[in-house]
């Protein structure tokens, strides 16, 4: 599993997140789901994701594209994200997870 401890993103900004996998990982036939959930004050998240996106797998890489509108209305703060890879039978496994800090734009606010 890929662990990315912290990623920072300015709310309302478009970005493509890329996850590279080792050459010996077989990603053929898999699909990808990415989810983001706000971490509450008790260090828990949920009960549902605040944002879900499909990932695109090409060779040994998976990318998830966020447009500005995806995060424009989310609350500022800390979020947990997960990238899940799913096989043809619908069985999924978490392939990457970490924290994303959503910040505000300082200029032009």
- Provide the domain limits for residue 20: 2-103
CA distances from 66 to 22, 42, 60, 103 (A): 24, 27, 20, 15
Q: Given this model, what pLDDT does residue 105 score?
A: 82
**Total domains present in the chain:** 1
How much is the pTM? 0.86
109 belongs to a structural domain:
no
9 belongs to a structural domain:
yes
The tens digit of pLDDT for each residue in 23-50 reads 888 899 999 999 999 998 777 776 789 9
Backbone angles phi, psi at 72, to 5 degrees: -55, -35
We report the CATH number of the domain holding residue 24 as 2.60.40.10
47 belongs to a structural domain:
yes
pLDDT at residue 86 is higher than 80: yes
The tens digit of pLDDT for each residue in 58-71 reads 999 999 999 999 99
108 belongs to a structural domain:
no
């Amino acid at each position: 599993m890929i662990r990315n401890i912290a990623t920072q993103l300015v709310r309302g900004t478009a970005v493509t997140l890329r996850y590279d996998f080792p050459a010996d990982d077989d990603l053929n036939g898999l699909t990808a789901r990415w989810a983001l959930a706000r971490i509450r004050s008790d260090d828990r998240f949920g009960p549902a994701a605040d944002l879900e996106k499909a990932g695109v797998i090409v060779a040994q890489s998976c990318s998830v594209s966020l447009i500005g509108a995806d995060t424009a209305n989310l609350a500022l703060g800390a979020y947990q994200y997960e990238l899940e890879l799913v096989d043809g039978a619908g069985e999924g496994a978490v392939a990457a997870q970490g924290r994303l800090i959503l910040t505000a734009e300082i200029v032009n606010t």
